[in-house]
Amino acid sequence: MSTINKKEIEKFSKIANEWWDIEGKFKPLHKFNPLRIKYIKDKVIDHFKINSKSQPLKNLELLDIGCGGGLLSEPMCRLGAKVTAIDASQKNIDVASYHSKKNNLKINYLCSSPEKISLNKKFDIILNMEIVEHVNDLNFFLKKSSLLLKKNGLMFVATLNKTLKSYMFAIIGAEYVLKWLPIGTHDWNKFVKPKDLIFKGKKNNLKLITTDGISFNIFKNEWLISNDESVNYISQFKKI
């Protein structure tokens, strides 16, 4: 079995050279990134009862799955985490590796997927951010991801809800009207309802801690954590 969707890999490989262009095709993700970083940092500090403010993730082993160009891997490294980052696209890994070396960051980048990775260790934190809507067989993906997580470790999953609103906003609005994303970035049929994610997580020893909505405030021109899970949401799981 494989979690890799070759069409999705090809799609992102074609635009891999734009990962770090803040005005390029990944501009929405750059705008989204500070919120993701703060959310992960705050939840990790709370879960592991960390006191340090300068490098709160120091010595924690973190795996970033579907890391793309390293937009989350790098800030996690700066926060002190020992980062391993994987992506099924070699072009993404090449871009991420080059950028991290240029910034003197020590990140272990590997072209791999959860079912293929060969490491003799497990992780305190696993990030599955904006990736589950692009994989084959979500249950298998979560199973293999869960096996890489330590007991009591945290897994973060950010994705898109499968609703009419998400189709209108994330596809019609973001791709066709506002041109925030290249047309074809998302397939609504692969969006995931929170209840389905929670159910599949439970099957794979992942206990839900919390789910939060993520909304775009058009007046403030920024992303915010909210109670509205109808389009974007992020779930935090604990390995049991």
Q: What is the C-alpha separation between 24 and 54, in angstroms, rounded?
A: 31
The pLDDT averaged over each successive group of 10 residues in the chain (240 residues) is 93 95 93 96 96 90 98 98 98 98 98 94 97 96 98 98 95 88 90 98 98 92 94 98
Q: What pLDDT does residue 53 have? A: 78
pLDDT digits (tens, 9 = 90+) for 94-115: 999 999 999 999 999 999 999 9
Q: What pLDDT does residue 181 have? A: 83
Pairing of strands 149-160, 123-129: parallel
Question: Domain range holding 132?
Answer: 6-239
Q: Is residue 178 part of a domain?
A: yes
Domain count, the chain: 1
| Total Cβ atoms within 10 A of residue 112 | 18
HEC letters along 169-197: HHHHHHHHHCCCCCCCCCCHHHCCCHHHH
Q: Is residue 106 part of a domain?
A: yes
**Residues near 220 by beta carbon (within 8 Å), at least 6 away in sequence:** none
Q: Is residue 1 part of a domain?
A: no
Q: What pLDDT does residue 54 have? A: 82
Q: What pLDDT does residue 15 have? A: 94
Is 0.85 surpassed by the pTM of this model?
Answer: yes
Q: Is residue 130 part of a domain?
A: yes
Q: Is residue 28 part of a domain?
A: yes
